[in-house]
Structures are given as structure tokens and as C-alpha cells.
Structure 1
Amino acid sequence: MIRALLIGLFFVPIHSYLIVKLEIILYRGGTSASPIFWTTIYNLLFLIAINAILVKFLPKIRLTQQELLTIYLMTNISTCLIGHDMLQILVPMMGHAFWFATPENEWQDLFWQYIPKWLTVDDKKVLQGYYYGDSSLYKPENLLTWIKPVLWWCGFICVLVFVMTCLNLIFRKQWTEEEKLSYPIIQLPLQMTNPATRFFRNKAMWAGFALIGLINCLNGLHVIFPPVPFIPYWAQNYSYLITEKPWNAISFLFIGLNAEMVVLGFLIPEDLCFSLWFFHWFWKAQQIFGSAMGWRSLPSFPYGREQASGAYIAIAIILLYINRRHLINVIKHLLGIVKIDDRLEPMSYRYSALGVFVGFVLICIFCYYGGMSIWVTVPFFALYFLIQLAVTRMRAELGTPVHDLHYSGPDEIIVRSVGTRKLDNGTLTMFSLFWFINRAYRSNIMAHEMEGFKMAERTKTNYKTIFLALILTTIIGSFTAFWAMLHQGYETGMQIKAPFPAIGAFGSEPWNRLQSWVNNRTNADIPGTLFMYGGFIFTIFLAIMRVKFIWWIFHPAGYAVSNSYNMEVFWSPLFFGWLAKTIILKFGGLKLYRKAVPFFLGVMLGHFITSGTWTVIGIILNYPI
């Protein structure tokens, strides 16, 4: 497996560079914001093609399924690190408050003194090359200025991810062996790499591949040669057709057939998929009702973000309750009361628990020296890891296609609950610096790690190898992510080539918010807090009803994730995927469903490969396709 680790590490900087090129410089591709990364599937298919040649001519050095999936996992983790919700946000933030400070926004007077200089870059001569381009990261003055904050942030990220890994190790056996969780998101890579399934000789798979491949080829050619027919299937916003009150309160109305989401709708449990689109319209109904009632005293009604925050925390509490016996046994094992066989684990439960504790303490020390109050740090990261657990469990059990939770993380929960009057400026500034881990939760490392352990369980891969792959990828991937962002920034100029999202969103959002917090001190948001509690209670209610009544089809996870922006776009294809699955199960039963799965997996693979190929061609031609 050493060669798998080496090959995986070889691809880490390549993926870091390409993701920045796609999502920051060109602002297309959207790979790291998806539940399945098309770039890593593309990479996996490339390796499978190389492997097919090796099988024929050099069978002794062919890659095994375990090696292919280990490389796939490593590229997934590296994509998360450089993802749309991770370092793509952090790097533009690090100099933004200094470069864009003006007499009008008064940032220098408001919060410059609270920004830790060891975590940011304030030298405008160094920043000039980053924002305007035509420069080089490798000039001594640039390297020496960036190296200190980069090292500190890489250290923090490695500790943060290590805590996630240790938490995964505590739950791994329960969630991958004891409980029969479905893990729908790993079905495609497992099928692709398993020679026993003969996936690439399945006619239904190739039919699905050809169907979407033909459509994508025509659409790509249409961009270059307009006379070629165009077949629109991507979700389009039709809300402009609804102009009368209260119906126009629905805001967005996307309808379309995003290919990978139709497939996920077909693969994930039927009750969850129903709950996703049903609760999405439940949120729309609340918006329409609030508009009809004219509740101007509640301008944020129905407080969707607040309800979602409460729902995610409730799901985390529910999963801890469901796994209480396992957790109690682990605690008894730590105390020496009972003995659990953990010899197959990468680390014993004792070391995993110690890793969580030591990592949490190191995070608290980091925050203390950054200026964050300790009484805030503990609940802040407790909430953060609860959200990570919730997302990981939802993906493992249900394959939840969305889990972004935009603008609803621990920073917003705490500010909403106590107000900014009770939080000092140093704490609020650290909240802003942690925007890169709390803006949204799409590029979720912890969930991908657990899926990696499940793939290892299915393929009999040594867990210690997977653990080592995760550690190495996190360390190397953190540095290569910074390198990719800075190298391309100095080469092209972030302010010139990537005004959005790097500057207009990722860089500006946390500092504009901090300006508002410091200028306008507020008390606790009572309505928002009450709606957050309401979301928590309603999620608990849905979970209880699922336990009490077999016929209850409303899933708490569907309620938690269905009001996000991603669901605005994805509810429609998920509905069509659910509808196809429902019809097939009703009239053809489980037998027909199993025969249909390769067709839908072929649609997903065909979409990733053909649309990905057009994206690569667009990069080469410097032409948006």
C-alpha cells in the first residue's frame, strides 16, 4: 500500500492547483461544493484506465481495489481542504482587512488592533502582488511574510482534522460494522473499482452513460458552434413568473434535472428523499404564510437559518442518544471496567479519546492567544464538532445530498443567543477568522473520512493504512492548498481575475460582518433564539414519531437540510429521482430496482466525465464551456 500512498500524495498538489483554477480563477466547476467530487471520480477513472492496460501487459504491478480507493480517498480529502468551504475562504481573508481598509469603513480604528498579526498579512507591498498579479510568490519578501501565518494555520487545521479523525475512530466500528448504514455516496467508486461487479461491462450502465453523454456533448458543442442543438436540463429559476403577493415570497423557484442529483435521489432512502423536497416546500409555505399575514415585526420570518441550526444540533444529540450504549462501553473501557477489542483500530479507544481531549485543549490555547475568550471557545467548538457529527451521520446513514447550513454555524448561534454586547472585540474578531470553517459545511472532511473507513471495511483494507493516508493528506494537503491559492494569486491577481468569489464574498463577508457587530452592539435575538429552539424541538418530535410509528415518512434530516440555498436548486432533480424510484419499486419491485441502479450510476459517471471533459477543454482554450 506504500505505492498507493505515494500516488495519492502525488495527486494532492495537482488537485489543489486545479480546484483553485476552476473554482476561484475561472469560477466554474463547482466540484468541492458537491456531495460527490467530479474531479476525484475523473481521476479515479483515469487510474482505472491505466490499470486496465497494466492488467493486460504488466499484471503483477496492477493496482488493487484497495489501492485505488485509498488514492480516491486521499484526493477527496485534499479537495475538501482546498474546497469552497475551507481554504478558498481563509486565504482571501488573511489580507483583506488591511488591503481594503478605508477612511470610510474605519476598519483600522474599529478592529485592526484585535486582529492577530501572526495569523494575517498586513504588509501592503506584499499584498499588492497577491491582489494585482504579475508577481511571484517566490520572491523572498513574499515568502518570508506569508510563511509564519501559513504555518500557524496549517498547524491549526491539522489539529482540527485530527480531532475529527479521532471522533471518527470512536464511532467507526459502530457506524461501519455494527449498524447497517447505507452509505449511498460511496456506491459509484465501489462499483467502479470492484472487478467482481463487471461494472464496465454492464449494458444498462453504458446506456445511462451514453444518454447523458450525448446531451452534454451536444450542449458543449453548442457553446462553440451555436447551430448545434442545445438541450437544456440544468435547473433554471422561474420565480420571475410569480409576481403577486403573497406567492412571490417563495423567492426562488428552480426547476430542472441536474443529473447527479437525480441519481442521488434514486439511490438515497425513499423516505429521506421525499422529506427533502416535501420540507423544502414546507419552508416555502412558511414564507408565503408570513407574507400573507404581513408579519413585519418578524422581518426574518420564518427564520429558516435559525430553525436549521436547532435541527442540526438536535440530530447530533439524537445520534449521541442512539449510540449511548456504544459510548458508555467506550467510557467503561477507558476506565478499565470492561474490555473492548480494539486491536484492529488504527488507534486504541484510549488514544482516540486522548487525541480528542489534547486536540481540543490545543485549539483552546490557539484561540486564547488569538484573543478569544475561553468561556466562548469551549461552547463554540463543542457546537462545531456536534455539527460535524450530524453531517457525518446523515451522509453515512442517508447520503444526504446537501448539508451546507449557510451562515448558521457556532458563531451565529452564539451571537444570536447572547448578543454582541456580551462578547468582546477579540472574540468577535476570532469569530471572523474562523469564517472559513463556518461559512458553510459542504466540503466536509469528517464525512469523507468516515466514508473512507466504510470503503475500507467493504474492501478489507487495513484501517491503519487509511489512518496514515488521512494524516499524510491532511498535512501535505494543507500546505499545497495554501500554495495553490497564493501561487495563482500572485500569478494572475485575485482582485483582477477573481473579484468574485475570492474578494466579493470570501474575503469581504467576515470583515463586513465584524464591522456591523462592532458598530451596532446588540442584545440577544429573542425571536431568532426561540425559532432555533423550535427547530430543535420539532426535529426531536420528528425523530420520536419515526420510532413510534412505522408509517411515519417524515425524516428529521430532511427537515434540517431542506431550507438551504443548495436545496433551492436541487429539490427538483431530487423529486424526479424519488419519483423514478417510487414508480420502479411499485411496479417492478426490488428486482427491477437493482437492475436499474447501474443505469443511474452510468448517468452519474457519464455526467461527471463528459461535463468534466468540457470543463478541461474550456480551461485549455480559455473559453467558458
Structure 2
Amino acid sequence: MTRYRAILIGSILIFFNSFWMMHASIWNAGYPTTVSLFYNVIFILFLITMLNLAVRHLKTDFSLNRSELLLIYVMLSVASAVGGLDMLQILIPLISGVFLLATPENEWMSLFGKYIKDWMVVRDKEILLLYSQGESTLYLRRHIMAWVKPIAAWGSLVVALIIVMACISVILRRRWTEQEKLSYPIIQLPLEMSHSGFWRDRLMWLGFALAGGMDVINGLHFLYPSVPGIGGKLYDIAPFFTEKPWNAIGWTPVALFPYAIGMAFFIPLDLSFSCWFFYIFWKIERIAAASMGFRNLPGFPYLDQQASGAYLGLFVVAMWGSRRYLGEVIRRVIHGEREKQGEPVSYRVAFILGGIAFTYILLFCLRAGMSLWVAVVFFILYFALSTAITRMRAELGSPVHDLHFSGPDMILTTALPTRSFSPYDLTTISFFHFFNRAYRGHPMPHQLEGFKLAERSGMNVRRLFLAIIIAGTLGFFASAWGYL
């Protein structure tokens, strides 16, 4: 049984987690949301599990069951994604930096400042200077009033995005989880951690000691460079290729990461081939382009555009494979037929709730001055990429999934001439960079993985759906508080 107290505990922990994440970012002490499995959440789950085992040993009713532990894990994962390096941690510099860094020399105000609505940014330069230089506090009425409007506005957009993602996850859950039976490799560690037998496994503790020992040695190496380091660092081999066309290979890091080795064991063999083969193919493309004289073409061989096309192609293939299932879902929505037991919400509710949230997103864009057609195309592309990333994680379980410079902001401005967009379109699209930077810590995969964890642990999925929305909302505002 999944009790509401798990949602309460998860909500409280979100504030501590957000404060930790924001300060780690400010101090450049780590970016946990740049990998698929957030280590900050794993660490908190470890602490809660240890405390829970101690409480259970006392034979009290205060201990959490497995489904409650996993619900807290999902809430913290969603909240971390929202407050991560590819979402809120980019938004705050965006809404503060425009007027802080504007000068007569760079002419930002005449170039695009007049296309920015008042509610989108903080305009008071004195407050921005105090914020950037320190020696001040958020807890002054003037400061709070300057920040509250843009934070509330952008927070409402993020909550709407979370709701649409959750509704898409509800619609696709049964197809990908029960019919196709995707393996969801990323959830294996938290799933095992919630089982008491995991902590009695000697081999687990041996692996823990090996990986932890490497971390300790690397920490000593950082403090005392005379101590040799072991893995955990990217070594670029590109400088060894000094002659043409081989020097076109670009940044080629080699590293040893224990977490990646462990997660690689869960990747299906046929898909693991693609991971390394196409990376090498990418490097061959760069070298071949240089050898044939195409290096002077801007962006050739257009690797970012290839990445966009690959993800959109994955979305199309996934939807085509699910066409009969999606047809059945639409029929149930139209005729109001009841779904099988175990759905977080009915398909009709998912369509209505998702439609309302999507409509709000469009209204947000219109209020910012964006053209309706640009907003519609932009967010269709965004949710298509989101679905493709979610599918890839559910089937492949890649330790990381970067997608730099390949989002709808880049697709639209690359595929269409600049004259197709108004200045308001381009300005608003630039602000949307905060949730289109790289997709490394995307919230949607964590939502669907949460529904898979619910299936494996007997969690109440309706309460999980509610918890996901709460986590996304609290994650944004708690992280904004932690950042400011």
C-alpha cells in the first residue's frame, strides 16, 4: 500500500535536494543531472533506505514499504530534472542576464530588448547587480517583488510541460510496458536498492568498495596531484592527431566511469553495438569530409542536424509501431470506454488534461508575442523529441543522452529562412533554450520509468501520477529559491 505520507516525505526532501543541487552548481561541485541516473537521488535513496532498515528493525509502524521508497525516488528524480543543468539552472541566468549585461556597446536593448515582455525578465539593474555580486539577500520586499513575477510566469510554463509529458506517458505506458515489454534498464538499481536482500549481497559491497575506492583516490589526486588518479576523468586523444585530414576527428574523450560500466550490462546486446559503431561512424564522417575538401562548408557534415533527424525518426518509428494501439486509445477516448485496471488516469482524462496544458502553453507563447504557427510547430517538435528520448531510455538505457544544438529552436531556425519569423518569435525561441539545451536531465523519461517502477512494486499509480505533478511543481519553485 502506497500511503500519502510518502508524497509528504518526498515533498519535504525536494527542498533539501534542490538546495543541495543549486549550491553544488554555483560552487561547480558537480552536475548530477547530466547523466541518466541522478547520483544525488541515488544517494538520498541510500540514506532513506538505511534509516528505514533501522526503523524496521525496531518493529514500528513508521517504516516505509518498497512502493513508498520508490515513489519518493521518482519524486526526487522528476524534481531534480526540473531543477537541473538543462532546465532551471539555465533559466535564471537567462532572465537575469539580459538587462544585467546590456550595455550601449553591445546594443542589446535596440537589437532585441524591446521584444522582451516585462513579465519575462527582471529589469531592475540595481537588484541584478546585488544578485550577481553578492553581499545581499533575497529576503527583502523589493527583491522578492522583482523576482516573483518572472519566476511565477516561467514556473507555470514548466508545470504545463510536466503535465503534458505525464499525460503522454500515461497514454504510452501500457503499449511500451505491458505489450512491448521494454526492459527499462535505468530503473534496475533503485528497484534493487528498495529490496532489503540487496544490502546483504557481498558481491554488491565488493563492487561498492571498488568504485568508492576509485572515488577516494581521485579525491586525493585532486587535493594532492602527486597521488595518481584512476579513471573518472575525460582524456581527449584529438591532440595526438596533428596532420590532415585526421585532425578533423574533433573532441574524442576516453574515460573510465564505473557507473557506466555497470549500467552497460543492462543494455541489450544488439543495441549496444549501435552505441559504439555510430560513434566511430560519426568520427569517420568528419575525417572523410575533411579529406574530400568539404570542411569549408559551414557545419558539414551537419552532425547536429543528423541527431535531430535520428530522434525524430525514432519517434516516427515508435508511433508507427504503436498505430493500432493508439487507434484503440482514440476509440476509447471518443466512446468513453473504461480502461483496464492499473492506469494512472483514464485516457479521456489524459487527453483532456494534456490538451488544457498544451493550450496554456500556446497562450503563454502568444502573450510573449510569438506567432501561433511557430508555437504549434515548436512544441510538436519538442514533445516528439521528448517522446523519442523517453523511448530510447526505456529500451536502451544509455548512461547519458546529450542532444546539444538539435532541439526545435535549432531545427526551425535552420530549416526555414530567418524572414519566416518575427522578432518576437526569435526572441521567445531564444528564451526557450533553457529547456532545449541538451535534454540530458529530461523529466519525461523519469515519469514513464516511475510507472514501470509502480508496476514492479505494486505502487498506487494514481497517487504516483499526482506525486509526479507535485514533484515537478515543487522542483521548479524550490530550485528557484535555492538558486536565488
TM-score between the two structures when normalised by the length of structure 2: 0.97
> 2:17 matched to 1:19?
no
In structure 1, the partner of 2:193 is 192
Distance 1:232 1:459 in 2: 35
In structure 1, the partner of 2:76 is 75
In structure 2, the partner of 1:383 is 381
Distance 1:5 1:246, change over 3 A: same
Aligned-partner SS, 2:230: coil
Distance 2:154 2:167 in 1: 20
The answer to whether the 8 A contact 2:184-2:394 is kept is: yes
The answer to whether the 8 A contact 2:339-2:347 is kept is: no
> 2:45 matched to 1:44?
yes
In structure 2, the partner of 1:443 is 441
Q: How far did 1:129 drift?
A: 1.3
Q: How far did 1:229 drift?
A: 4.8
The answer to whether the 8 A contact 1:166-1:355 is kept is: yes
Instruction: For structure 2, list consecutive stretches of 5 or more residues without a partner in the other structure.
Output: none
In structure 1, the partner of 2:63 is 62
> 2:262 matched to 1:260?
no
Please show how residues 350-389 of structure 1 align to structure 2 within 5 Å. 350-389=348-387
The answer to whether the 8 A contact 1:69-1:189 is kept is: yes
In structure 1, the partner of 2:299 is 300
Distance 2:249 2:184 in 1: 33
Question: Can you list the C-alpha shifts for 1:576-613, whole angstroms capped at 9, x where unaligned?
Answer: xxxxxxxxxxxxxxxxxxxxxxxxxxxxxxxxxxxxxx
Please show how residues 570-609 of structure 1 align to structure 2 within 5 Å. none
Aligned-partner SS, 2:370: coil
AA aligned to 2:20 is L
Distance 2:122 2:340 in 1: 45
Q: How far did 1:136 drift?
A: 0.6
In structure 2, the partner of 1:221 is 220
In structure 2, the partner of 1:168 is 169
Q: How far did 1:236 drift?
A: 1.0
Q: How far did 1:434 drift?
A: 0.5
AA aligned to 1:407 is F
Distance 1:296 1:191, change over 3 A: closer
Please show how residues 559-570 of structure 1 align to structure 2 within 5 Å. none
In structure 1, the partner of 2:91 is 90
Question: Can you list the C-alpha shifts for 1:287-309, whole angstroms capped at 9, x where unaligned?
Answer: 00011111145231110001111
**Equivalent residue pairs, number:** 482
Please show how residues 229-248 of structure 1 align to structure 2 within 5 Å. 229-232=228-231, 234-248=233-247
The answer to whether the 8 A contact 2:34-2:400 is kept is: no
In structure 2, the partner of 1:152 is 153
In structure 2, the partner of 1:349 is 347
Please show how residues 415-430 of structure 1 align to structure 2 within 5 Å. 415-430=413-428
In structure 1, the partner of 2:329 is 330
Distance 1:75 1:480 in 2: 12
The answer to whether the 8 A contact 1:330-1:340 is kept is: no
> 2:4 matched to 1:2?
yes
Aligned-partner SS, 1:421: helix
In structure 2, the partner of 1:492 is none
In structure 2, the partner of 1:465 is 463
Distance 1:419 1:345 in 2: 44
Distance 1:224 1:307, change over 3 A: closer
Question: Can you list the C-alpha shifts for 1:493-531, whole angstroms capped at 9, x where unaligned?
Answer: xxxxxxxxxxxxxxxxxxxxxxxxxxxxxxxxxxxxxxx
Q: How far did 1:340 drift?
A: 4.5
AA aligned to 1:283 is W
Distance 2:316 2:244 in 1: 39
In structure 2, the partner of 1:180 is 181
> 2:209 matched to 1:207?
no
The answer to whether the 8 A contact 1:5-1:469 is kept is: yes
Identity percentage of aligned residues: 42
Task: Choose the corresponding residue for 2:402, options 404, 409, 414.
Answer: 404
Question: Can you list the C-alpha shifts for 1:198-256, whole angstroms capped at 9, x where unaligned?
Answer: 21222221221122222222232343455655434533112211111111111122122
Distance 1:325 1:33 in 2: 35
Distance 1:227 1:246 in 2: 37
AA aligned to 1:144 is M
The answer to whether the 8 A contact 1:368-1:374 is kept is: yes
Distance 2:126 2:398 in 1: 45
The answer to whether the 8 A contact 2:119-2:149 is kept is: yes
The answer to whether the 8 A contact 1:333-1:339 is kept is: yes
Q: How far did 1:116 drift?
A: 1.2
TM-score between the two structures when normalised by the length of structure 1: 0.75
In structure 2, the partner of 1:490 is none
The answer to whether the 8 A contact 1:183-1:397 is kept is: yes
Question: Can you list the C-alpha shifts for 1:443-485, whole angstroms capped at 9, x where unaligned?
Answer: 1111000000000000111101101111211222221111111
The answer to whether the 8 A contact 1:16-1:79 is kept is: yes
Distance 2:156 2:232 in 1: 44
Distance 1:402 1:50 in 2: 30
Please show how residues 91-170 of structure 1 align to structure 2 within 5 Å. 91-170=92-171
The answer to whether the 8 A contact 2:35-2:401 is kept is: no
The answer to whether the 8 A contact 1:235-1:258 is kept is: no
Task: Choose the corresponding residue for 2:472, options 468, 471, 474.
Answer: 474
Instruction: For structure 1, list consecutive stretches of 5 or more residues without a partner in the other structure.
Output: 487-625
AA aligned to 1:485 is Y
Distance 1:296 1:194, change over 3 A: closer
Aligned-partner SS, 2:248: helix
Distance 1:247 1:131 in 2: 43
AA aligned to 1:344 is G
